[in-house]
């Protein structure tokens, strides 16, 4: 069995943190699946929001046991020192490969001064996410930095995975841009779609029981639950106006929210929704319970009569995923959602969820009222959705490509030792030249011809609005 370095972002489900995000669930799922196959797994971990030098100063890097065959190495983030620290760790542990997830940790993996096989997982398209973030904050300054970071992974990965098939197609195009679709990789399958399928909430152990109904809301109410962050992709206006109208037509409907603003990423989307709800004459039926300890979440799921998530149209939604849907399917709760991401489209095609189009308030009102009316159709649809998820999103089946690669990790054709050595000697490989050229374009440094790089000039003009 292999000795594997897994890189990711915490907190992890085992941490019982108040804020559990998709990257931590993905990291832990990868680590556990590998450990279950008797690989020795060391997880290099940086917690969500701790990607600045100031946050790194607060913590001391340390190692701890996290279960059979899994050790956690809590790492301080530093663009230069983190890769060096992982290289030192490799000297002690002799990793046979590295599997990394998230764009920032994939950048760290690419910078480790080692030549070992790399599997880089991108759980969502970074540029589509940055587009939304730029829109929410009215600032595109992070786009150039994102390209610089992303190009490292594109140039150095041996295998790649994505959250959806549409994102896989996008990533293949990005690899072509980076010069990785070349003579040496021809015929190799470099990119795999590995959808989110975590059962982390169900598997947390003994959950904390308490009454939501009869405690926070009336015991006879119809509870519509939002769980998780209000991210840049959510549509606070459509969510509020639909809920308010549905509440006026059906007095039993109450909205319960766990989660909220995402510090360091998006606090504005939640505030917009909360302000609308608190200004309503029905504000007593909107209950904001904030971020909860992970062990409390199952109690909310068991008492919810319906779950809800609303997207505005975005390419992030077209390419990405909604991880919270996995939990709702796993717990067998009726789902009201926007028909946008791959999983929602898949479920809508099979008539397994209650959907609406992006921005369609009338459609969302109708979906809420239909589910609140109840009946055998709703129950049967929910059971069928749960069965579909269990059958088609079994973890071992979904992660089979990654698990098979981990048994015998391989370099991509253009990263084999003999090819790399040949490039170093001749300096003539077109792929290497192209990647170097793109790197120069993205640095904003002086180009070989003596002028400022083309891409940097374009970016400056875009920022000026020229």
CATH number of the domain at 143, please. Answer: 3.40.50.2000
Question: Are residues 287 and 353 both part of a single domain?
Answer: yes
In a domain, 442, yes or no: no
- How many domains does the chain fold into? 2
Check whether residue 215 and residue 170 sit in a common domain: no
Amino acid 251: pLDDT: 98
Q: What mean pLDDT is predicted for residues 95-124?
A: 96
Looking at the fold, whether 144 and 216 belong to one and the same domain comes out as: no
What's the rounded Cα separation, in Å, for the pair 12 and 8?
10
Q: Are residues 232 and 374 in the same domain?
A: yes
Report whether 284 contacts 255 (CB < 8 A). no
C-alpha to C-alpha distance for 355 and 366, rounded to whole angstroms: 9
Tell me: do 185 and 220 sit in the same domain: no
Looking at the domain assignment, is residue 440 inside a domain? no
Q: Tell me whether residue 465 is in a domain.
A: no
Same domain, 300 and 170: no
Predicted confidence at residue 466, as pLDDT, reads 43
CA–CA distance, 101 with 85 (Å, rounded to integer): 18
Please compute the mean of the pLDDT values over residues 436-451 and round it to a whole number.
Answer: 51
Does residue 223 carry a pLDDT above 60? yes
The pLDDT score that the predictor gives to residue 94 is: 95
What Cα–Cα distance (Å) separates residue 90 from each residue in 32, 73, 83, 96, 296?
A: 20, 12, 10, 9, 38
277 found inside a domain: yes
Q: Looking at the structure, do residues 184 and 237 belong to the same domain, yes or no?
A: no
Structural domain boundaries, residue 160: 3-199+399-429
Same domain, 381 and 238: yes
Give the separation between CA 115 and CA 416, rounded to whole angstroms: 9
pLDDT digits (tens, 9 = 90+) for 250-271: 999 999 999 999 988 899 999 9
Q: Tell me, what's the pLDDT at 434? A: 58
Per-residue DSSP letters for 359-418?
T-HHHHHHHHHHHHH--HHHHHHHHHHHHHHHHH--HHHHTHHHHHHHHS----GGGSHH
Same domain, yes or no, for 216 and 252?
yes
Of 31, 34, 32, the C-alpha closest to 407 is 34
222-227 sheet: strands from edge to edge? 286-288, 253-258, 222-227, 306-309, 335-338, 354-356
Q: Are residues 307 and 369 located together in one domain of the fold?
A: yes
Burial of 346 (0-12, 13-18, 19+ CB in 10 A): middle
- Residue 466 lies inside a defined structural domain of this protein: no
pLDDT tens column, 118-152? 999 999 999 999 999 999 999 988 888 898 899 99
Classify residue 436: in a domain, yes or no: no
Instruction: Indicate if the pLDDT at residue 163 is higher than 50.
Output: yes
pTM of this structure:
0.89
pLDDT (0 to 100) of residue 128:
96
Q: Give the span between the Cα atoms of 132 and 120, in whole angstroms.
A: 23
25 close to 31: Cβ distance less than 8 angstroms: no
């Amino acid at each position: 069995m292999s000795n594997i370095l897994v890189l990711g972002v915490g907190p992890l489900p085992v941490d019982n943190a108040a804020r559990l995000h998709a990257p931590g669930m993905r990291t832990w799922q990868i680590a556990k699946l590998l450990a279950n196959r008797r690989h020795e797994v060391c997880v290099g971990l940086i917690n969500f929001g701790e990607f600045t030098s100031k946050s790194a100063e607060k913590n001391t890097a340390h190692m701890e046991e996290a279960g059979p065959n899994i050790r956690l190495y809590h790492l301080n983030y530093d663009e230069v020192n983190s890769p060096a620290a992982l290289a030192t760790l490799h000297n002690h542990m002799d990793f046979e490969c590295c599997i990394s997830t998230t764009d920032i940790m994939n950048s760290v993996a690419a910078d480790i001064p080692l030549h070992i096989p790399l599997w880089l997982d991108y759980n969502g398209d970074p540029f589509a996410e940055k587009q939304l973030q730029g829109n929410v904050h009215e600032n595109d300054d992070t786009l150039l930095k994102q390209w610089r970071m992303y190009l490292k992974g594109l140039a150095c990965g041996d295998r790649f995975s994505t959250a959806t098939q549409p994102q896989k197609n996008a990533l293949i195009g990005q690899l072509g841009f980076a010069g990785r679709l070349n003579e040496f990789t021809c015929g190799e399958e470099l990119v795999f779609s590995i959808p989110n399928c975590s059962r982390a909430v169900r598997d947390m152990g003994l959950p904390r029981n308490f009454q939501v109904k009869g405690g926070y809301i009336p015991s006879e109410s119809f509870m519509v639950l939002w769980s998780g962050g209000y991210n840049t992709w959510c549509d606070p206006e459509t969510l509020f106006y639909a809920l308010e109208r549905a509440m006026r037509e059906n007095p039993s409907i109450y909205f319960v929210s766990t989660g909220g603003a995402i510090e360091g990423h998006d606090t504005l989307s939640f505030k917009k929704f909360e302000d609308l709800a608190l200004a309503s004459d029905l504000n007593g039926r909107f209950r904001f319970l904030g971020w909860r300890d992970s062990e409390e979440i199952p109690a909310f799921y068991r008492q919810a009569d319906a779950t809800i998530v609303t997207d505005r149209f975005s390419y992030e939604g077209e390419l990405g995923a909604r991880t919270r849907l996995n939990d709702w399917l796993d717990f067998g709760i009726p789902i009201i959602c926007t028909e946008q991401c791959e999983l929602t489209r898949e479920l809508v095609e099979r008539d397994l969820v209650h959907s609406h189009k992006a921005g369609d308030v009338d459609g969302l009102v109708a979906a809420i009222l239909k589910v609140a009316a109840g009946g055998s159709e709703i129950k049967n649809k929910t059971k069928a959705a749960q069965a579909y998820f269990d059958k088609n999103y079994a973890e071992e089946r979904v992660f089979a490509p990654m698990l098979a690669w981990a048994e015998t990790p391989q370099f991509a054709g253009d990263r084999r030792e003999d090819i790399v050595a040949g490039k170093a000697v001749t300096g003539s490989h077109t792929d290497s030249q192209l990647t170097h050229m793109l790197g120069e374009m993205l640095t904003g440094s002086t180009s070989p011809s003596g002028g400022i790089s083309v891409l940097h000039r374009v970016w400056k003009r875009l920022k000026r609005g020229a």
